[in-house]
Structure 1
């Protein structure tokens, strides 16, 4: 019996993969639904939609990033939310507060429409998984940040910083917390991980200094803020303005 097994084993050939074939199966709106899959997914879809569409706040107007020149209501709202919602997290980690916020104009992906504000609204405005990072920056690096804003001429969302330029784009005034910038002072600047790593050519963040990751997504900060207010009322103001 043993001999037979050895003989059979010795007669077996080693098998090798010699060919792999694949086919492209297109799935589009003409693909028929699978009832079993639909039935399986339905309760999960209903739960997700219920969560996303639950009313959190109210917007009395429609707010778009196209509404302003150097600052917009929606951009101001997002920067202010990051500042307000991040400070408790940052204080618990470092005992310090956050001095200012800088985000990017292109990161606002949709307007906030007039009417009910939901979690879905936050996902539409901020669909990316960007998390908040707080960077320690000396005043000398803050000036690089300000030069970037001065030259870009875009309504990048800011909070805590007040910047005024003249008709020739020269800096008239730059204040953080309503105080002149001290080149030797260390400021805590909140941004997101994409910008910290040089996104939108904001290379000054990585050049700045130590970074603190809060593990707190901007989208989640928006949702948390919406939950605690009844009505949002952002406005275009003078935080970044040009005078003649």
Structure 2
């Protein structure tokens, strides 16, 4: 199989290198469906190469990083897991801003609930558990947003029945904003705010178009998944378990 792959590669390379030197006209094509399933025997040569890497990856993924007091799941309008992850994003972003003497504005954080793809289990928490929750390579980004666009941000969240947020309290009534406070203060459309979130959402993912043209955007050099792992490890080093609850940061009136 490896030899065949090399031959195919050489043929393709030759076609790319020399095909442009003459006019080639496609006359016809043909093909057939090949099912890639358990009926195809494993190639022993390939398996022997992959095996050491698979074993090392499995070892790293099975590493216990801490313990959770209870299972955490995610749901609307707020949930233990979405609160937990948005709080971690908030904490990590604030740490970055303080280190750069830039923590000058009120901050809120966002974690889209649909982006949390599994529950955090009760008891032992492994690296694999965090990869299952957050399988994406999303980076934490801090946006400087006008108060007007922050209002539009909360207006949108009200139509989606909530999201994972930190640093704010939102009350929704009839799919509209009834009230918003940020760090205990009423939202002011005449000032700017920091919004810490994923680069996916900052680029307009999940229809968050109102945050795609920020006054400033800063990647802090940390993936959300890495921040979660490191946070749980820090808790464990201090003999603490993961604890997160619903605290009323989003209410449906």
Alignment TM class, shorter chain as reference: 0.7 to 0.9
Aligned 1:81-230 pairs, distance under 5 A = 81-93=88-100, 95-96=102-103, 99-154=107-162, 156-166=163-173, 168-230=174-236
Which ranges in structure 2 are unaligned for 5 or more consecutive residues? Answer: 1-20
* Contact kept in structure 2, 1:134 and 1:189, CA below 8 Å: yes
SS in 2 for 1:207: coil
How far apart are 1:123 and its partner, in Å? Answer: 0.7
| Contact 1:196–1:205 under 8 Å retained in 2 | yes
How does 1:49-88 map onto structure 2 within 5 Å? 49-66=58-75, 69-88=76-95
Tell me, yes or no, if the aligned pair for 1:85 and 1:225 is still in contact at 8 Å: no
Matches of 1:208 and 1:22, distance apart in 2: 49
Distance between the aligned counterparts of 1:55 and 1:23, measured in 2? 46
CA distance in 1, matches of 2:40, 2:103: 56
1:138 and 1:184 in contact (8 A); partners too = yes
* Per-residue deviation, 1:75: 0.3
The DSSP-based 3-state class of the residue aligned with 1:129 is coil
Structure 1 residue 86 displacement after superposition: 2.5
1:178: Cα distance to partner?
1.1
Q: Tell me if the contact between 1:140 and 1:184 (Cα under 8 Å) persists in the aligned partners.
A: yes
Distance 1:209 1:163 in 2: 24
In structure 1, distance between residues paired with 2:129 and 2:92: 18
- Could you say what secondary structure the match of 2:248 adopts? coil
The alpha carbon displacement at 1:237 in A equals 1.1
Per mean C-alpha deviation after superposition, the further-off stretch among 80-89 and 19-28 is 19-28
1:44 Cα offset (Å)? 1.3
* TM-score, reference length from structure 2: 0.80
Larger radius of gyration: 1
Query: RMSD across aligned C-alpha pairs, in angstroms?
Result: 2.5
> 1:79·1:101 contact (CA, 8 Å) conserved in 2?
yes
TM-score (norm 1): 0.83
Give 5+ residue unaligned stretches, structure 1.
1-13
Matched residue pairs, number? 226
Q: Distance in 2 between matches of 1:18 and 1:170?
A: 60
